[in-house]
């Protein structure tokens, strides 16, 4: 995991501290070795014109299909819940009244109302499956699609290929990996993790500028080492050969330093460049500001952005509406979580469209599962992986359509069931990654990006 906030310091043999460049953990920042970079560039896999990007919105907690995007107004009250459907700008498509801005943009996104998985109804397993297309079994952690893209394409210039905002998912009850890492590909392909709340008034990205305690002499040493990297990989290896720790870093050092010293990437994280009206439109909360940052990342060459809407489901208002503490009441959809998503998501689609970026940027929004059709005794809904709704927009997806449907109470897919592997294959298809591509696997055994026989959802395009 690549983080910018670690405090552990490591000394090299010449007395220089790794902290003088970036905090420990950030030195593998962009996840592509120099030799890999040049090999891919020679093969034409880097900077090949209008390649597609992706913004993946992980709606941590499991949004309720029945209260949001697949409403059943004619069902009994204990099924249909407290909210009413409203019309959208696409005839025949209705969504919840808590999404008035989304209703005006239904022509930009597609609704997949028949998603399901057959694993345990645990948050962690759902996070794994929706980000990788697979359940982790036999000790094998599969990489997220964003990390696969990092491996196959590498960075564009100074921009990291995969950024995660604002923080990794924390405890959600299963004590298992959540699926955003590079898994068996190795930590060098992990996402760049912001690990900071962009909605805070004093928000800044740690180490994007040299810390105050770094002297001019140290800054000059950093500059001279950068020149060595620019000169040749061989010179870099020679300079660091006395230190085993440093040798492990040489593939990624140049890119880490490049990001820290890049005016373009520092500016990308600077939300003060956006006017007050724009920030208000996205919503001055973690999710809204993360969506705004995602747009700025894509504009500056980042290929894949993962946004975790929440970090945990405990003692925080989220989509996880069991109805009683430490979880959330169903009323939070109307009062807090719904408006938060409506503003952030709608503004993101609006801006990408207006800036000519939506056609080249796939925007995926999904939870890890849905919610039970029947409201429980606490007035909420429990975990239900048997059926839920997700959204896809941009990246070649035709908006204004519905893929699949659920039965009369939103419990099971009625037609065109959509499994996590198909979602992963669809993201790969949009990004131009062949699903049958083989990756270096475990113990010398190659592993396909997507399991054999699983195809993209071609109806979307």
Domain extents for the chain?
1-30+215-268, 53-208+276-460
How far, in Å, CA of 121 to CA of 125, rounded?
A: 8
Indicate the length of the chain as a whole number: 461
Burial level of 255, CB count in 10 A (0-12/13-18/19+)? buried
Which of the four pLDDT bands, split at 50, 70 and 90, describes residue 255?
low
- Arithmetic mean of pLDDT, 328-354: 98
How far, in Å, CA of 353 to CA of 162, rounded?
A: 21
- 3-class state of residue 434 by DSSP: coil
Choice among 35-49, 327-341, 408-422 with the minimum mean pLDDT: 35-49
Q: Helices 286-299 & 338-354, crossing angle to 10 degrees?
A: 20
Residue 334: per-residue pLDDT: 97
CATH class belonging to 53-208+276-460: alpha beta
- Arithmetic mean of pLDDT, 248-271: 66
What is the side-by-side order of every strand in the sheet holding 162-165? 2-3, 192-193, 162-165, 304-308, 53-58, 361-366, 388-393, 109-115, 401-403
How far, in Å, CA of 435 to CA of 133, rounded?
A: 11
pLDDT at 410 over 50: yes
CB 133 within 8 A of CB 454: yes
What DSSP assignment string belongs to 48-61? Answer: -SS--EEEEEE-TT
How far, in Å, CA of 149 to CA of 153, rounded?
A: 6
pLDDT at 13 over 60: no
Helices (H) and strands (E) in the chain, counts: 15, 17
Choice among 97-111, 314-328, 349-363, 429-443 with the minimum mean pLDDT: 429-443
Q: What is the pTM of this model?
A: 0.82
Burial level of 406, CB count in 10 A (0-12/13-18/19+)? buried
- Arithmetic mean of pLDDT, 192-203: 91
CA of residue 78 relative to chain centroid, distance: 34
Residue whose structure tokens are 């061989």: 234
Where b means 16+ CB within 10 Å and e means fewer, 10-41 reads: eebeeebebbbbbbebbbbbbbbbbeebeebe
Phi, psi of 252 (to 5 degrees): -115, -10
In terms of pLDDT, which residue wins out, 219 or 444? 444
Residue 267: per-residue pLDDT: 87
- Arithmetic mean of pLDDT, 218-230: 57
How far, in Å, CA of 367 to CA of 420, rounded?
A: 11
β partners of residue 362: 54
pLDDT at 95 over 70: yes
- 3-class state of residue 188 by DSSP: helix
- 3-class state of residue 354 by DSSP: helix
- Nearest residue to 45 (alpha-carbon basis) of 176, 150, 177: 150
DSSP structure class, residue 32: -
Q: Please give the span between the terminal C-alpha atoms of the chain, in angstroms, as a whole number.
A: 34
∠ CA 280-282-285 to the nearest 5 degrees? 85
Which of the four pLDDT bands, split at 50, 70 and 90, describes residue 329?
very high
Q: Which helix (H) or strand (E) holds 42?
A: helix 34-42
β partners of residue 307: 57, 165
Helices (H), 263-313: 263-268, 276-282, 286-299
Residue 25: per-residue pLDDT: 35
How far, in Å, CA of 260 to CA of 274, rounded?
A: 21
Phi, psi of 440 (to 5 degrees): -60, 120
| CA distances in angstroms from 172 to 141, 381, 387, 414, listed in the order given | 18, 17, 20, 30
Quote the mean pLDDT of the chain.
84
Sign for the pseudo-dihedral over CA of 218, 249, 261, 1: negative
∠ CA 151-156-159 to the nearest 5 degrees? 95
CB 67 within 8 A of CB 83: yes
β partners of residue 238: none
- Nearest residue to 380 (alpha-carbon basis) of 369, 372, 388: 372
- Nearest residue to 416 (alpha-carbon basis) of 65, 115, 94, 64: 115
């Amino acid at each position: 995991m690549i983080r910018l906030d670690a405090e552990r310091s490591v000394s090299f043999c010449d007395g220089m501290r790794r902290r003088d460049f970036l905090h420990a953990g950030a030195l593998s920042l962009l996840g592509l070795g120099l030799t890999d970079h040049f090999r891919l560039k020679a093969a034409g896999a880097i900077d090949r014109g209008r390649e597609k990007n992706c913004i993946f919105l992980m709606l941590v907690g499991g949004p309720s299909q029945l209260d949001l995007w697949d409403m059943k107004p004619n069902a009994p009250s204990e099924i249909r819940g407290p909210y009413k459907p409203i019309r959208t700008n696409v005839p025949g498509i209705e969504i919840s009244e808590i999404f008035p801005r989304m209703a005006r943009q239904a022509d930009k996104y597609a609704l997949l109302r028949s998603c399901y998985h057959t694993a345990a109804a645990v948050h962690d397993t759902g996070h794994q499956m929706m980000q990788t297309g697979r359940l982790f079994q036999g000790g094998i952690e599969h990489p997220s699609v964003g990390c696969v893209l990092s491996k196959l394409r590498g960075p564009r210039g100074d921009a990291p290929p995969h950024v995660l905002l604002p923080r990794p998912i924390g405890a959600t009850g299963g004590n298992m990996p959540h699926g955003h890492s590079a898994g068996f590909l190795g930590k060098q392909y992990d996402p760049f993790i912001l690990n900071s709340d962009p909605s805070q008034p004093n928000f800044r990205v740690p180490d994007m500028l040299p810390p105050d305690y770094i002297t001019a002499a140290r800054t000059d040493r950093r500059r001279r080492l950068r020149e060595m990297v620019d000169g040749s990989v061989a010179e870099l290896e020679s300079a660091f050969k006395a230190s085993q720790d440093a040798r492990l870093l040489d593939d990624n050092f140049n890119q880490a330093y490049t990001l820290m010293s890049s005016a373009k990437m520092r500016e990308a994280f600077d939300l003060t460049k956006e006017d007050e009206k724009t920030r208000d439109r996205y919503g001055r909360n973690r999710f809204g500001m993360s969506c705004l940052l995602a747009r700025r990342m894509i504009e500056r060459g980042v290929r894949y952005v993962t946004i975790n809407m929440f970090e945990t489901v405990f003692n925080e208002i989220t989509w996880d509406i069991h109805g009683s503490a430490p979880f959330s009441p169903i009323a939070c959809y109307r009062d807090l979580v719904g408006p938060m998503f409506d503003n952030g998501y709608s503004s993101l689609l609006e801006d990408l469209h207006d800036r000519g970026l939506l056609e080249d940027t796939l925007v995926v929004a999904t939870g890890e599962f849905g919610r039970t059709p029947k409201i429980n005794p606490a007035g909420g809904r429990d975990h239900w992986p048997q059926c839920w709704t997700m959204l896809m927009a941009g990246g070649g997806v035709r908006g204004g359509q519905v893929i699949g449907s659920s039965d009369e109470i939103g419990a099971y897919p009625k037609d065109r069931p959509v499994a996590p592997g198909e979602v992963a294959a669809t993201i790969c298809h949009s990004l131009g990654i062949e699903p049958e591509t083989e990756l270096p696997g475990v113990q010398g055994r190659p592993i396909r990006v997507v399991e054999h026989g699983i195809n993209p959802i071609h109806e979307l395009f």
